[in-house]
């Protein structure tokens, strides 16, 4: 049972929201139709917290907090995202739930149970044995601003046979679902990328399983085109980052970005027109009664073509965030 299936189960039976609230100690909840209200555990304002039934979005008006139902659990119990998933799964009756398990600098996120996705396309799940061994980390990425600890964290490695940098790809729960290969040297742009293990990129949000917790905490996410941008940003110390694998955000990706309930800044490469940036930004804009998020994009019009916001180093990235974000 994965996160998407848990969410769908709760959305189909909104009474489960009340069950979760009661388990947390919010016994004063009130059903308001499209949403449920309750007070903070240590407060008496019964309108302090709202949870939208159809979106599972959560907002704490008195404490300026928002996110999704897992954020509420994290806030109330002071626990991490994966433990919040387990808590919710247990309350609604799922004893086996698929979550990411961390192996500190010695492996990758492995699956605990199989996964299904509500899509015409399906993400197959693989064991990490399909990947080449981690014998050396690519110096090419190190020169491009990705430190070795970040490479190990994201499972980046070299395939000596094809001379390609291998980038493992994971689903929202941290299961290996495919891998990309980037030629480890100079070549024509058309020959740079290949699929090491094919996967539907429209069903992947690169970095989600590693960065989701921090994104919810900071209430902000930067969405890039490429995986390397995510790794560069993490090397800078910024962990509120995802990548969509291009400059066209799929319906699946947009739905899961919006479900985070956070502000969104698109950091697409230079050369993308303003019209396209606005069109893509609108896909991740939440517009629900009394609930919205800020959405914007980094204006890269003055930057060299194909350069990403993270390619020019930490100082330039921070300058762009401070001076070049355009809000819708």
Give the C-alpha distances (Å, rounded to integers) separating 288 from 49, 51, 69, 244, 298.
Answer: 16, 12, 16, 24, 25
Residue 83 CA to residue 81 CA, distance in Å, equals: 5
List, in order, residues 6 or more apart from 5 with CB less than 8 Å away: 116
Pair 212, 317 in one domain: yes
Residue 276 CA to residue 296 CA, distance in Å, equals: 12
Q: What is the pLDDT of residue 270?
A: 94
Pair 142, 193 in one domain: yes
Q: What is the pLDDT of residue 253?
A: 94
Residue 149 CA to residue 137 CA, distance in Å, equals: 10
Tokens of 264: 């969104």
Pair 7, 23 in one domain: yes
pLDDT 10s digit of each residue in the chain, 328 long? 567 778 888 988 999 999 999 999 999 999 999 899 999 999 889 999 999 888 888 889 898 888 889 889 988 998 877 788 889 999 998 766 555 433 333 332 222 223 334 445 678 999 989 998 887 788 888 989 999 999 999 999 988 888 889 999 999 888 999 999 887 766 665 566 678 889 999 999 999 999 988 898 888 999 999 999 999 999 999 999 999 999 999 999 998 898 888 899 999 999 999 999 999 999 999 877 667 789 999 999 999 888 999 999 999 999 999 999 999 9
Q: What is the pLDDT of residue 100?
A: 47
Q: What is the pLDDT of residue 287?
A: 78
Residue 284 CA to residue 298 CA, distance in Å, equals: 15
Tokens of 153: 């964290």
Pair 221, 194 in one domain: no
Residue 78 belongs to domain spanning: 3-91
Q: In this structure, what CATH number is given to the domain that contains residue 35?
A: 3.90.580.10
**pTM exceeding 0.75:** no
Contacts for 77-86: CB closer than 8 Å, 24+ residues apart: 77/24, 80/213, 81/212, 81/213, 81/216, 82/213, 85/3, 85/6
Q: What is the pLDDT of residue 261?
A: 82
Q: What is the pLDDT of residue 178?
A: 94
Helix (H) or strand (E) holding 65: strand 65-68
Helix (H) or strand (E) holding 223: strand 220-224
Q: What is the pLDDT of residue 17?
A: 95
Q: What is the pLDDT of residue 273?
A: 94
Decide which of 178, 201, 224 is a domain's last residue.
201
Pair 217, 277 in one domain: yes
Instruction: Give residue for tokens 């109330």.
Output: 76
Q: Are 102 and 91 in contact (CB under 8 A)?
A: no
Q: In this structure, what CATH number is given to the domain that contains residue 187?
A: 3.90.980.10
Q: Are 50 and 36 in contact (CB under 8 A)?
A: yes
Q: What is the pLDDT of residue 254?
A: 93
Q: What is the pLDDT of residue 162?
A: 81
Examine residue 117 and state whether it is found in any structural domain, yes or no. no
User: CA 254, 168, 170, 197 torsion: positive or negative?
Assistant: positive
Q: How many domains does the chain have?
A: 3
Examine residue 107 and state whether it is found in any structural domain, yes or no. no
Q: What is the pLDDT of residue 110?
A: 28
Pair 222, 161 in one domain: no
Q: In this structure, what CATH number is given to the domain that contains residue 286?
A: 3.40.1360.10
């Amino acid at each position: 049972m994965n996160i998407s299936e848990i969410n769908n189960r709760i959305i189909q039976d909104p009474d489960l929201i009340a069950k979760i609230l009661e388990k947390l100690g919010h016994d004063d909840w009130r059903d308001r139709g499209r949403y449920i209200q309750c007070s903070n555990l240590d407060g008496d304002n019964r309108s302090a917290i709202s949870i939208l039934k159809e979106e599972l979005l959560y907002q704490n008006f008195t404490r300026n907090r928002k996110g999704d139902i897992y954020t509420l659990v994290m806030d109330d119990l002071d626990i991490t995202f994966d433990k919040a998933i387990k808590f919710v799964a247990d309350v609604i009756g799922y004893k086996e739930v698929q979550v990411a398990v961390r192996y500190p600098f010695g492996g990758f996120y492995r699956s605990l149970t199989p996964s299904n996705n509500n899509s015409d396309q399906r993400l197959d799940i693989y064991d990490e044995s399909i990947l080449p061994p981690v014998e050396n980390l690519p110096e090419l990425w190190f020169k491009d601003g990705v430190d070795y600890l970040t490479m190990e964290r994201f499972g980046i490695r070299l395939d000596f046979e094809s001379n390609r940098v291998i980038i493992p790809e994971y689903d929202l729960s941290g299961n290996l679902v495919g891998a990309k290969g980037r030629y480890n040297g100079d070549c024509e742009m058309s020959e740079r990328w290949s699929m090491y293990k094919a996967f539907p990129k429209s069903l992947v949000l690169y970095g989600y399983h590693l960065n989701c917790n921090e994104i919810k905490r900071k209430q902000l996410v930067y969405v890039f085109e490429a995986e390397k941008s995510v790794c560069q940003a993490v090397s800078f110390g910024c962990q509120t980052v995802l990548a969509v694998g291009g400059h066209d955000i799929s319906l699946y990706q947009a739905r899961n970005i919006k479900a985070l309930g956070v502000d969104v800044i698109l950091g697409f490469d230079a050369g993308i027109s303003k019209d396209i940036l606005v069109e893509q930004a609108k896909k991740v804009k939440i517009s629900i009664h009394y609930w919205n998020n800020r959405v914007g994009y980094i204006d890269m019009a003055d930057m060299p073509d194909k350069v990403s916001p993270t390619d020019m180093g930490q100082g330039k990235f921070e300058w762009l965030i401070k001076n070049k974000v355009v809000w819708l």
